[in-house]
Amino acid sequence: MATPEAQLQPTDSIPIGGKRSGAWLVRYALEQLPVSHTFGIPGVHNTELYDELNSSERIHPVLVTHECGAAFMADAISRTSQGEIGVLAIVPAAGITHAMSGIGEAYLDGIPMLIISGGTRTDVPFGYQIHELDQQALLANVCKRSWRLSAHTDIVPTLFEAYRTAMSGVPGPVFVEVPVNLQLFREHIASVPVFVPPTLPELAPGIEQQLDAAAAMLAVADKPGLFVGWGAVDVAEDIRAVAEHLGAPVSTTLQGLSAFPGDHPLHTGMGFGPAAVPAAHNAFKDCDCMLAVGTRFAEIPTGSFGCRVPEALIHIDIDPAVPGRNYPAQVPLIGDARVLVPMLRQRIHRATEPHVERRKAVSGSIAVDKRDYRDEWHKHRSPRVNPLRFFEALRKQLAVDAIVTTDDGNHTFLTAELMPILRSRSFISPTDFNCMGYCVPATIGAKLANRERQVVGIAGDGAFLMTGMELLPATVEQAGVVIFVLHDGELSQISQGQEIPYNRKTCTQLGEIRLAGIAQATGARYISIDNNDDLDEGIRLALKAADGGQSAVVDVAIDYSKRTRFTKGVVGTVLKRFPLGDKFRFIGRAVTRRVTG
């Protein structure tokens, strides 16, 4: 991609010829960018900015209950739209530290975000001001770049550059500190630059030959497979065409669940190792050539790095540090998947005829494995809600383009295993930063950016407690969202992880939670689903409330007694890596505790 300096010419400007405050300039810059909302809490260092935003006809400032929720809302806007960026407008110091969990999630997940903070005064000689802190140093490890402005003339071009930085290369958060004196006071501004959107990057030298080699490898493979992540989410149609042509199974990462439709016959599920569902594990166990697109082979989708990756690995990623980091890539293809995947698709179609028979055979095996896994879940009896029956009932009532948000916990992997995601950018979840508390605010952010679509969240009760009060802004904004709280009274992902090796649960019991009180306090409707018979009506009532602009909290008495494939697979993989002595110690201790009670 061209540098900002090359993109923005000195003549690309609009004359102003008058005095403008820094807050006006921030508002002007944001109005030129693809920005619809800001999220945060006003304070003494940004009240002037909020006054300007209140006058904007394009940008709507949203008051949150906690800046962590603001960051998750901004994250969700970026994830569920193409080009638009989520924006924080927060106070310095405390606002930054509160928001850092959401900023860190965006940073590790590769999600663009623009963070605008006030700053202490730079026009006075006094130290020890309120909120005085080196914010650039604090954010150095969770932002792509940061700026502390010193002049009015820097504000607009810096915010434009910040947007391009956030969106280009590996996307991520950027930070701009605007000292309060710049916001409050006016200076003469001759002109302001015109925003020039970023363009797709040019091809790297030699990439054409590498694409030819990749197509040739896939053409001669006996059992090719595709593994796609978030980086493939905008080329889902090309991925589908490649998979169908090759007759190849497709697995996704957790973050990339919406990069391939879950109802497609070649879709297998999340991951492909021992921690994956049977359809994925069986379809990939003899894979002899893999095309990986937009995935880092990170810990979650690989089941704690327990999967087997073939030597013939073709790896497309925008980050040159990714291919070869965890698994050697025979053909590393560095670049934007939006450019490279369509080019590779053309070459594959030229290199080989469609593998019709292989596609039928692979699809048939996947269908049998999926059916058997569903039957296994259907046979699981409980007076509480069966997870599969919950997801089947929910999928039946949701539109095909509904956005589904999860949090971090056992419910996340149940969703990945049991809930088909049907459209691109219609599933979002915290992944590499793996931060609890994401679901409620992210669901709200996604709804604000996609008013015409159904948006539902699926959260564990522990995760819901972290940010559930953000339903108050949802009520204020009339953002009708539904939060299904899978309620079992435990931090179940960790408690199950404790139970297997320790045969005990420590500090993972939540106590009695009355979710009806939280719903009442935030203006949401409360609905309880106590068993499988309540599912259809409970979901219908919740979606009806959301259609009318009222959010709903659905208290689902979930049965977590049957463990996910992910949990069992990861525990087994991790235990295998223990030194022999420690492995026997853990196993022996668990057995002893089971015998002695």
550 lies in some domain: yes
Question: Are residues 506 and 552 located together in one domain of the fold?
Answer: yes
How far is CA 125 from its chain centroid? 43
pLDDT at position 483 is 98
215 lies in some domain: yes
21 lies in some domain: yes
How far apart, in Å, do the first and last CA atoms of the chain sit? 63
272 lies in some domain: yes
Question: Could you identify the residue written with the tokens 């497309």?
Answer: 316
Question: Are residues 187 and 222 located together in one domain of the fold?
Answer: no
pLDDT at position 597 is 66
Domain that holds residue 510: 381-565
Question: Are residues 63 and 183 located together in one domain of the fold?
Answer: yes
In degrees and rounded to multiples of 5, residue 267 shows phi and psi of: -75, 130
In degrees and rounded to multiples of 5, residue 73 shows phi and psi of: -65, -45
Pairing relation of β-strands 186-193 and 145-148? unpaired
Question: Are residues 547 and 427 located together in one domain of the fold?
Answer: yes
Using left for φ > 0, alpha for ψ between -120 and 50, and beta otherwise, residue 336 falls in beta
Regarding pTM above 0.75, the answer is yes
pLDDT at position 10 is 43
Rounded CA separation 142/107 (Å): 6
Which CATH number fits the domain that encloses residue 299?
Answer: 3.40.50.1220
CB 478 within 8 A of CB 548: no
Q: Domain total for the chain? A: 3
Four-CA torsion 588, 594, 595, 597, nearest 10 degrees: 130
Rounded CA separation 110/97 (Å): 20
Which CATH number fits the domain that encloses residue 506?
Answer: 3.40.50.970
Question: Are residues 272 and 340 located together in one domain of the fold?
Answer: yes
Rounded CA separation 593/278 (Å): 31
Q: Is 456 helix (H, G, I), strand (E, B) or coil?
A: strand
Question: Are residues 156 and 220 located together in one domain of the fold?
Answer: no
Beta-sheet strand order (sheet of 37-40) = 60-63, 37-40, 86-90, 113-119, 173-179, 145-148
In degrees and rounded to multiples of 5, residue 499 shows phi and psi of: -65, -35
Q: Is 435 helix (H, G, I), strand (E, B) or coil?
A: coil
CB 390 within 8 A of CB 458: no
597 residues of the chain, pLDDT tens digit each: 333 333 444 447 888 888 999 999 999 999 999 999 999 999 999 999 999 999 999 999 999 999 999 999 999 999 999 889 999 999 999 999 999 999 999 999 999 999 999 999 989 999 898 889 999 999 999 999 999 999 999 999 999 999 999 999 999 999 999 999 999 999 999 999 999 988 888 888 999 999 999 999 999 999 999 999 999 999 999 999 999 999 999 999 999 999 999 999 999 999 999 999 999 999 999 999 999 999 999 999 999 999 999 999 999 999 999 999 999 999 999 999 999 999 999 999 999 999 999 999 999 999 999 999 999 999 999 899 999 999 999 999 999 999 999 999 999 999 999 999 999 999 999 999 989 999 999 999 999 999 999 999 999 999 999 999 999 999 999 999 999 999 998 877 877 777 767 777 888 888 889 999 999 999 999 999 999 999 999 999 999 999 999 999 999 999 999 999 998 888 888 878 888 788 777 777 777 777 776
302 lies in some domain: yes
Rounded CA separation 184/34 (Å): 25
Rounded CA separation 39/59 (Å): 11
Return the structure tokens found at 33: 């960018």
Question: Are residues 261 and 165 located together in one domain of the fold?
Answer: no
375 lies in some domain: no
Return the structure tokens found at 415: 């969703």
Rounded CA separation 550/540 (Å): 14
Question: Are residues 151 and 121 located together in one domain of the fold?
Answer: yes
Question: Which residues neighbour 165 within 8 Å (Cβ) at sequence distance 6 or greater?
Answer: 4, 144, 145, 174
Question: Which residues neighbour 242 within 8 Å (Cβ) at sequence distance 6 or greater?
Answer: 226, 248, 291, 341, 344, 345, 348
Rounded CA separation 67/48 (Å): 19
Rounded CA separation 502/449 (Å): 44
Last residue of a domain, one of 136, 165, 193: 193
Longest Cα separation, the chain: 83
Question: Are residues 99 and 238 located together in one domain of the fold?
Answer: no
422 lies in some domain: yes
Question: Which residues neighbour 485 within 8 Å (Cβ) at sequence distance 6 or greater?
Answer: 459, 460, 461, 464, 515, 553, 554, 555, 556
CA angle, residues 510, 513, 519, in degrees to nearest 5: 135
CB 25 within 8 A of CB 75: no
584 lies in some domain: no
Last residue of a domain, one of 369, 391, 409: 369
CA distances from 403 to 379, 392, 420, 465 (A): 29, 16, 12, 22
Radius of gyration of the chain (CA): 25
In degrees and rounded to multiples of 5, residue 148 shows phi and psi of: -120, 115
CB 50 within 8 A of CB 44: no
CA angle, residues 445, 446, 449, in degrees to nearest 5: 90
CA distances from 579 to 143, 498, 575, 585, 591 (A): 37, 19, 9, 10, 18
Last residue of a domain, one of 369, 390, 408: 369
CB 105 within 8 A of CB 36: no
C-alpha closest to that of 111 among 85, 129, 92, 139: 85
Sign of the CA dihedral 332, 334, 336, 341?
negative
Question: Are residues 291 and 321 located together in one domain of the fold?
Answer: yes
In degrees and rounded to multiples of 5, residue 39 shows phi and psi of: -130, 135
208-247 CB burial, b ≥16 within 10 A, e <16? eebbeebbebbbebebbbbbbbbbbbbbbebbbbbbbbbb
Question: Are residues 405 and 448 located together in one domain of the fold?
Answer: yes
Pairing relation of β-strands 186-193 and 13-21? antiparallel
Question: Are residues 151 and 183 located together in one domain of the fold?
Answer: yes
How far is CA 347 from its chain centroid? 31
